[in-house]
Structure 1
Amino acid sequence: MFKNIPFERVQWITSSFLIGTLALAVTAVPLYLILVSTGTWFLWALFFFYTAATGLSITLGYHRLFSHLAFKAKRPVKWFVILFGAAAWENSVITWSSEHRRHHKHVDHDDDPYNINLGFWWAHMGWLMFKLKPEAPIDNVKDLEKDPALVWQHKYIHFIAAFMGFVLPTLICGLYYGSWMGALGGFLIVGVLRTVIVQHATFFINSACHYIGSQPYSSTHSARDSWLMAIFTFGEGYHNYHHEFQHDYRNGVKPWQIDPTKWTIWLLSKVGMTSDLRRVSEAKILLAEIQQARSRIQQGLDYCGGDQFTEAARLKLQASIDALHHAQEELAARYDHLQTVVKDRVEFSKGRVAVWRRELREAMTHLDEILEFDLVPRAV
């Protein structure tokens, strides 16, 4: 059973922590809730605060602020991220950002730390538990290493994580409830259970968001948009967009898309705590959507041109095929115009964007009609 496990490659401390906290979360936590009656509003209020604080410290801070420099933040925001981000037990800002920048630079290739091509489990957490290659040098975060606060966090990350993540919630609950059992609740619920939930939410961005969902902006990499993942990851689920436009402070750019991290950054900007929020222009976003739509349409038309359809099926599909040909011509014209708009940085009306997006949806509807025929591969 264990003969194929490369034990010499196991990261024993990291693996023990990940397995140990998960084991406590599925055994000790339910037992505590069943046997102890201190599960009051305060314990759960602290749990939800810590979940939001540590989760947003990763998505807003480690990810969008430090890894991608998508906005600037005042000192209170930075220190909040430094302290509560450490409590997420995902290493320091410097280490996390270095690995994430390598992921973007080498996505889906050998130097991608959590390469999805090595399997879902590897991308989820296997890359943390095993090191198949020598540790890559931290040489791509020179900008972050100039910040004394980040250097301090990097140096003392495990002490900060232990205090903020486990000791502090244990002390708070112990003092509030005035008992050792209350303190145990703080450790198990606010410390252990919350850590497991926040960590696996982050891990799902590396695994599920490269595995399930749509690719409206590009199919040159495995990243995908998933509204379901966005719910559990503070808006990070729109991963196809993020890989195309990684320096945008938003992941969910459409009004209906769920992105609490974006909303938080925007709200903080209104009280002067964040600034210089970087945004990709509507023209550039639409250009990517049109290019991806043209690529998918061409694949669909190529399949339609083959011999796999009977004459009856071809006649039934002819209206959709004709519509796709027309859409292809229209989108080509839109694409050429948008290239000029992006190059010259010309703004155009929201009404025009809405019309073009409606054309895109109609073209995709015709493509979906073709995809309903099993002879056309779903990967189109």
Structure 2
Amino acid sequence: MKKPPIIWLNVAVFLITFLFAAVAVPYRAFTHGFDGAEITMAVLCFIYCGMSITAGYHRLWSHKTYQAHWSLRLLFALGGAFALQNSILHWSSDHRIHHKHVDKNDKDPYSAKMGFWYSHIGWMLREYQAHRYANYDNARDLQKDPIVMWQHKHYLLLTIAMNVGVPLLFGLWHGDVISSLLLVGFLRLVLSHHTTFFINSLAHIWGKQTYTDKNTARDNGVLAFFTFGEGYHNYHHIFENDYRNGIRWWQFDPTKWLIKGCEWLKLTSKLRTSPEDKVEKARLAMILKRSQLKLKSHPEAELMLERLQQEYDALIAKLNDFYAARKQLLANKRDQLLADVEKSELVKQYKELKLRLAEQQRSWHLLTAKLA
């Protein structure tokens, strides 16, 4: 089978920037050294680029998980050009196709089933799906955003201005242009590229399938640390309209914190989250599935499987009762004075259901822990 034509511009960009980062930066560090201001600037620019992709390109524009003030959208648009990962319109269109056709080699732009190299960077080195390059029918909503279209129209100029202009201006101000171009320019760009690319590659290979096994996406706390929270990818692929990826308070997701923090500043609004009961049911369904697979070789498999199913059904029933009561309680709190609600029979029922759910959860955990 004949391979598609090589995209020489992409090959040149990735190769040249990598060589400067891998060879010139260490040589400069050994012969000249980098000071604290240069390292700090490189780190800040790396964070700016990364968050522009995760909070802007990904969660704002690709998935519409929240709305943002024009000033924040402009910052993300400039940061996206700085990250050099194509325009908002093109990136978001590709990403929507990825979610719609995940793991389908003929349609998913960076299908993980094509292997690590392909999903990480190979898909950008050849014209595998040239028909996609100018077709943005799946992003018509974004074409109504003037900032998106401004960035798309002037993308080349903006990338040059950001990737050359920012390191150059900092270098002139700081007094060391070469070090600034190497550290803030080349090294920062390469790190920005590959940490983002890890989401297409490693996050579909390495980690846990916490909520679904219908696609290759994985949850990985280590990757989340390097990708501003995007490592909780299994959750994201089943609940893609949630502005959070790490939904637990202890999960590292600075993109979530940024979006929520900006809400307090009136820069973001209409933050979307997934219903807690649906999230919990998806997690429990995966635990049940894994436990059932482990029990197949058990000497008393039939009896154990029956008990496991009974515990699961009982837990789901109590879960439904608990969330129904909570939904009703919240509705009543909106319609009545809080003091009246707290004295109502509904609150007593809610507390009782909460205790029953906790007891059933303990029983479930004890049973599944034995099978772990």
Seen in structure 2, the aligned counterparts of structure 1 residues 344 and 115 have a Cα distance that, compared at 3 Å, is farther
Q: 1:272 corresponds to which residue?
A: 266
* Mapped partners of 1:70, 1:352: distance in 2: 34
Seen in structure 2, the aligned counterparts of structure 1 residues 281 and 298 have a Cα distance that, compared at 3 Å, is same
Among 210, 215, 229, the residue aligned to 1:216: 210
Among 187, 205, 209, the residue aligned to 1:193: 187
The answer to whether the 8 Å contact 1:287/1:339 transfers is: no
Identity of aligned residues (%): 37
The answer to whether the 8 Å contact 2:199/2:231 transfers is: yes
Tell me, yes or no, if structure 1 residue 260 matches structure 2 residue 264. Answer: no
Q: 2:177 corresponds to which residue?
A: 183
* Mapped partners of 1:138, 1:340: distance in 2: 44
* Mapped partners of 1:333, 1:96: distance in 2: 44
Seen in structure 2, the aligned counterparts of structure 1 residues 355 and 279 have a Cα distance that, compared at 3 Å, is farther
Cα deviations across residues 160-202 of structure 1 (Å, max 9, x unaligned)?
111112222222212221xxxx111111100110111011011
Q: 1:366 corresponds to which residue?
A: 370
Among 5, 10, 30, the residue aligned to 1:9: 5
TM-aligned CA deviation for residue 339 of structure 1: 5.9
Tell me, yes or no, if structure 1 residue 81 matches structure 2 residue 53. Answer: no
Q: 1:330 corresponds to which residue?
A: 311
Residue ranges of structure 2 left out of the alignment (5+ in a row): 329-349
Seen in structure 2, the aligned counterparts of structure 1 residues 201 and 357 have a Cα distance that, compared at 3 Å, is farther
Amino acid corresponding to residue 211 of structure 1 in structure 2: I
* Mapped partners of 1:279, 1:290: distance in 2: 19
Q: 2:345 corresponds to which residue?
A: none
Q: 1:102 corresponds to which residue?
A: 97
* Mapped partners of 1:188, 1:355: distance in 2: 58
- SS of the counterpart of 2:285? helix
* Mapped partners of 1:262, 1:140: distance in 2: 25
Among 285, 303, 308, the residue aligned to 1:291: 285
* Mapped partners of 1:145, 1:324: distance in 2: 52
Seen in structure 2, the aligned counterparts of structure 1 residues 134 and 71 have a Cα distance that, compared at 3 Å, is same
- SS of the counterpart of 1:213? coil
Amino acid corresponding to residue 36 of structure 2 in structure 1: W
Tell me, yes or no, if structure 1 residue 58 matches structure 2 residue 29. Answer: no
Seen in structure 2, the aligned counterparts of structure 1 residues 142 and 239 have a Cα distance that, compared at 3 Å, is same
The answer to whether the 8 Å contact 2:295/2:304 transfers is: no
Residue ranges of structure 1 left out of the alignment (5+ in a row): 305-313, 369-380
The answer to whether the 8 Å contact 2:322/2:357 transfers is: no
The answer to whether the 8 Å contact 1:245/1:280 transfers is: yes
Seen in structure 2, the aligned counterparts of structure 1 residues 73 and 287 have a Cα distance that, compared at 3 Å, is same
The answer to whether the 8 Å contact 2:315/2:361 transfers is: no
Tell me, yes or no, if structure 1 residue 122 matches structure 2 residue 118. Answer: yes
Cα deviations across residues 87-141 of structure 1 (Å, max 9, x unaligned)?
0010111000000000000001121100011111101011011222333222100
Seen in structure 2, the aligned counterparts of structure 1 residues 240 and 51 have a Cα distance that, compared at 3 Å, is same
Normalising by structure 1, we get a TM-score of 0.84
The answer to whether the 8 Å contact 1:24/1:192 transfers is: yes
Q: 1:225 corresponds to which residue?
A: 219
Among 130, 149, 152, the residue aligned to 1:151: 149
Amino acid corresponding to residue 88 of structure 1 in structure 2: A
CA RMSD of aligned residues (A): 2.4
Q: 2:131 corresponds to which residue?
A: 135
The answer to whether the 8 Å contact 1:323/1:366 transfers is: no
